[in-house]
Structure 1
Amino acid sequence: MTAPNELRLLPWSGPDGKPCYLSTDDQGGYVSRLADNIEACQLGSAANLLGQSSETLDDQDATLEEVRCLAKELTGALRDIIRVATSRGHLLAASEPREPAY
């Protein structure tokens, strides 16, 4: 089992929107692989949404409703990407060699 500072933030929320964490020594385990796949999907979706947003914002005929829908989707994508970045940042910090204390 990993130390508490090495818990992995998972790309989904638990009940009441609370974060979910994984504690395991097996980075190739089922839940780790599932989290990796979901994160990859979230990153891909965000990239696609970025392309769509450029098109919508460049469209002079885009309606207010279309722009609001775009803003809502971008907000969700940004929330997902921040969670992925936070999770991966913690994984990098946990895997870096630590300086010995003198």
Structure 2
Amino acid sequence: MTGGFALWVRFTTLDATAAQQFDALVARTLEGIRHETGTLIYAVHTPEAEPLVRCFYELYADRAAFDAHEAQQHTKDMLRERAQYLASTEVTFLSELTGKRPSPPAVS
């Protein structure tokens, strides 16, 4: 299985208050992301021993779906607002080798 377009992002927030505010921003952003048909997975995690860290795994049907995601107003708003809550951001783009993942939605 190959295909899709994925990334892993690690955000470190400034402090506990910033983490809560960042989480609220993410929750608002997810309201729009849930309607993006090409966004297959947009999962947010926190490592067990790192309460100020948020790790995002994002899987898109293809590069065009990622570009469409980036063009959405809710995404632009998050990208603009997030910096005030963050100490650092690390982005890793991933090439899919194999695995199990959801199928892209059928085009009607």
Query: After TM superposition, is the score higher than 0.5?
Result: no
Larger relative CO (CA 8 A, sep 6+): 1 or 2?
2
Name the structure with the higher strand share. 2
Name the structure with the higher helix share. 1
Q: Normalising by the residue count of structure 1, what TM-score does the alignment of the two structures yield?
A: 0.28
